[in-house]
């Protein structure tokens, strides 16, 4: 309070003194000028400093850079879109190819079904087994009938899934036959051993079952095979040889003078290119094999159950079902169904073969080492073991299909493996090599005997492997 009173007194003193008053007025004017100066100068300073830090020309440059980038990104986007479109187009083509393949394969299954080869039994259809491929054992040489596991290839399954399946898979072993009897369409059919006419110390035993398939089943299979083969014959097949010497023998026999060199083979194979293959088609003869797989027709279950009952052969050790036909003048080389000196138990322990129609003359199945000769008789099955109980391929299991002299021979074949594997009984994916039109069949001419070429509706890697092994001998 005392301080307020003192400052009031000072103010009164100033007002009463005019000199003091003028001094004060001048000071106030000075202060106003400084304020005005500051008000005008400061924004200018800020403006100048601002322009120095963020020059508008720099911004223009950045903006133009951003624009260019946008353009580039848009360009890249367009390129990506084009690429994507191209990829989609490619995928579409690939899918179409795959689809037509699947359609073909399925069609065969449908055909077998359509022909009602299953009418004698109304049993349930089993689902198709497991997976595509397991540990690969490459065949040492070509084995008739394409029975060995094929090379792992494109599949719809992830490697992880395959691995899981592989771990889950429990192989079954089929060491021997256990021949008995079976009921076929209300009749008991009995297995009978075919006695060898030659003495031998072989483990191989051959048995026959009359009327193992009904007439209706035989006819159905023939019809399905014929249709399938007919469909396949729309595209010229590619001719493959186990060796160039086999090709030369065929040419010599047909009295054909064709100059063929390395460039006429499809790269990576022993298969002749389209031009030469078309030429071969005009003079070679072959038997034809078409195949279907477990679950692709109700018949597969009926057949494997019947086989199990009659022979003890376990369905899970069975491979594909193959129908083969031989026209007049054609037979098949002397061979074993298993690999001699093989190193793998995943080999064909037993074979069942059913004759689907009579053959007027020739076409016998001959076991030269055992002295056994079987005349094709409609519905009759023969079954034998190729390996002994320890899993060795028995060389005395050699057999031949004698040339058909009069008539047309049709058979159904199925092989049972000593040790089963994951891809057994699965339709194998077709290899990409050699490049060919979809639906192109392969005629394999392996060894020169009885005109042993065989037209397969499926591909495997044997000829590619053979080629790799014998590449040097090509020239």
Ligand X SMILES: O=C(O)CCC(=O)C(=O)O
CB of 343 to ligand X, least distance (A): 21
Are 418 and 386 contacting, i.e. CB atoms less than 8 angstroms apart? Answer: no
Residue closer to Fe ion, measured from CB, 316 or 324: 324
113 is a site residue for Fe ion (CB under 5 A): no
CA 214, 216, 219, 222 torsion-angle sign: negative
CB of 276 to ligand X, least distance (A): 26
Residue 269 contact among ligand X, Fe ion, none, beta carbon within 5 to 8 Å by kind: none
Residue 149 contact among ligand X, Fe ion, none, beta carbon within 5 to 8 Å by kind: none
Closest to 282 in 3D by CA, of 261, 266, 258: 258
Residues at the interface with ligand X (CB under 6 A): 144-145, 324, 332, 337, 365, 399, 401, 411, 413
| DSSP bridge pairs for 252 | none
Residue closer to ligand X, measured from CB, 144 or 191: 144
CB of 399 to Fe ion, least distance (A): 6
What are the CA-CA distances from residue 3 to residues 8, 10, 11, 12 (Å)? 9, 11, 13, 15
CB of 337 to ligand X, least distance (A): 5
User: Taking the CB of residue 50, how many other CB atoms lie within 10 A of it?
Assistant: 11
Q: Backbone phi, then psi, for 277, in 5-degree steps?
A: -60, -40
Q: How far apart are CA 419 and CA 131, in angstroms?
A: 16
Distance between alpha carbon 4 and the CA centroid of its chain, in Å? Answer: 107
Residue 357 contact among Fe ion, ligand X, none, beta carbon within 5 to 8 Å by kind: none
CB of 383 to ligand X, least distance (A): 12
CB of 260 to ligand X, least distance (A): 27
Binding span for Fe ion by CB under 5 A among 329-337, 363-371, 390-398, 456-464 = 329-337
What are the CA-CA distances from residue 327 to residues 209, 227, 282, 365 (Å)? 25, 16, 15, 15
Residue closer to ligand X, measured from CB, 346 or 399: 399
Residue closer to ligand X, measured from CB, 344 or 403: 403
Residue 147 contact among Fe ion, ligand X, none, beta carbon within 5 to 8 Å by kind: none
Residue 332 contact among Fe ion, ligand X, none, beta carbon within 5 to 8 Å by kind: ligand X
337 is a site residue for Fe ion (CB under 5 A): yes
Neighbour-count burial of 416, counting CB atoms closer than 10 A to its CB (0-12 exposed, 13-18 middle, 19+ buried): buried
Binding span for Fe ion by CB under 5 A among 104-112, 223-231, 334-342, 389-397 = 334-342
Binding span for Fe ion by CB under 5 A among 134-142, 196-204, 251-259, 332-340 = 332-340
Omega within 30 of 0 (cis) for the link into 434: yes
**Which region, left, alpha or beta, applies to residue 393 given φ > 0 means left and ψ of -120 to 50 means alpha?**
beta
Find the farthest-apart pair of alpha carbons in the chain and give their distance in angstroms, rounded.
159
CB of 416 to ligand X, least distance (A): 13
Residue 290 contact among Fe ion, ligand X, none, beta carbon within 5 to 8 Å by kind: none
Residue 243 contact among ligand X, Fe ion, none, beta carbon within 5 to 8 Å by kind: none
Spell out the residues 6+ positions from residue 210 whose beta carbon is closer than 8 angstroms to its own: 189, 377, 379, 380
Residue closer to ligand X, measured from CB, 337 or 457: 337
CB of 342 to ligand X, least distance (A): 16
Are 328 and 402 contacting, i.e. CB atoms less than 8 angstroms apart? Answer: no
Residue 150 contact among Fe ion, ligand X, none, beta carbon within 5 to 8 Å by kind: none
Buried b / exposed e over 287-318, threshold 16 CB at 10 Å, is bbbbbbbbbbbbbbbbbbebbbebbbbbbbbb
CB of 124 to ligand X, least distance (A): 30
> Binding to Fe ion (CB under 5 A): which residues in 384-443?
none
> In the complex, which residues of this chain contact Fe ion (CB under 5 A)?
337
């Amino acid at each position: 309070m005392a301080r307020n009173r003192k400052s009031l007194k000072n103010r009164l003193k100033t007002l009463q003194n005019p000199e003091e008053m003028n001094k004060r007025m001048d000071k106030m004017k000075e202060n106003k000028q400084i304020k005005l100066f500051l008000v005008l100068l400061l924004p200018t300073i800020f403006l100048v400093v601002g322009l120095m830090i963020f020059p508008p020309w720099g911004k223009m440059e950045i903006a133009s850079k951003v624009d260019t980038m946008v353009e580039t990104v848009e360009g890249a986007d367009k390129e990506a879109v084009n690429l994507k479109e191209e990829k989609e187009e490619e995928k579409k083509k690939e899918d179409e190819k795959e689809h037509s393949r699947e359609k073909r394969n399925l069609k065969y299954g449908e055909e077998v079904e359509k022909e009602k080869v299953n009418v004698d039994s109304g049993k349930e259809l089993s689902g198709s087994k497991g997976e595509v491929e397991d540990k690969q054992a490459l065949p040492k040489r070509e084995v008739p009938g394409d029975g060995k596991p094929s090379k792992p290839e494109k599949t719809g399954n992830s490697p992880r899934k395959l691995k899981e399946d592989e771990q889950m898979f429990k192989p079954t072993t089929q060491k021997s036959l256990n021949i008995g009897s079976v009921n076929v369409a209300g009749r008991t059919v009995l297995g009978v051993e075919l006695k060898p006419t030659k003495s031998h110390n072989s483990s191989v035993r051959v048995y026959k079952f009359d009327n193992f398939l009904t007439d209706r089943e035989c006819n159905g299979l023939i019809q399905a095979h014929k249709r399938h083969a007919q469909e396949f014959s729309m595209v010229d097949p590619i001719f493959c040889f186990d060796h160039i010497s086999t090709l030369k023998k065929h040419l010599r026999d047909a009295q054909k003078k064709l100059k063929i060199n390395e460039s006429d083979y499809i790269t990576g194979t022993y298969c002749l290119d389209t031009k030469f293959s078309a030429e071969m088609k005009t003079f070679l003869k072959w038997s034809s094999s078409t195949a279907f797989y477990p679950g692709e027709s109700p018949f597969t279950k009926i057949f494997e159950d019947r086989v199990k009952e009659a022979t003890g052969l376990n369905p899970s050790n069975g491979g594909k079902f193959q129908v083969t036909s031989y026209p007049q003048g054609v037979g098949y080389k002397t061979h074993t169904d298993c690999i001699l000196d093989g190193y793998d138990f995943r080999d064909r322990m037993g074979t069942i073969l059913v004759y689907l129609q009579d053959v007027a003359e020739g076409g016998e199945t001959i076991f030269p080492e055992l002295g056994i000769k079987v005349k094709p008789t409609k519905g009759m099955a023969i079954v034998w073991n190729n390996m002994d109980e320890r899993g060795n391929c028995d060389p005395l299991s050699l057999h031949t299909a004698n040339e058909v002299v009069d008539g047309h021979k049709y058979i159904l074949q199925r092989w049972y493996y000593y040790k089963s594997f994951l891809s057994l009984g699965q339709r194998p994916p077709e290899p990409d090599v050699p490049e060919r039109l979809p639906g192109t069949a392969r005629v394999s001419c392996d060894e020169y005997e009885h005109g042993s070429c065989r037209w397969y509706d499926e591909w495997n890697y044997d000829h590619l492997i053979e080629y790799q092994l014998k590449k040097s001998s090509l020239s």
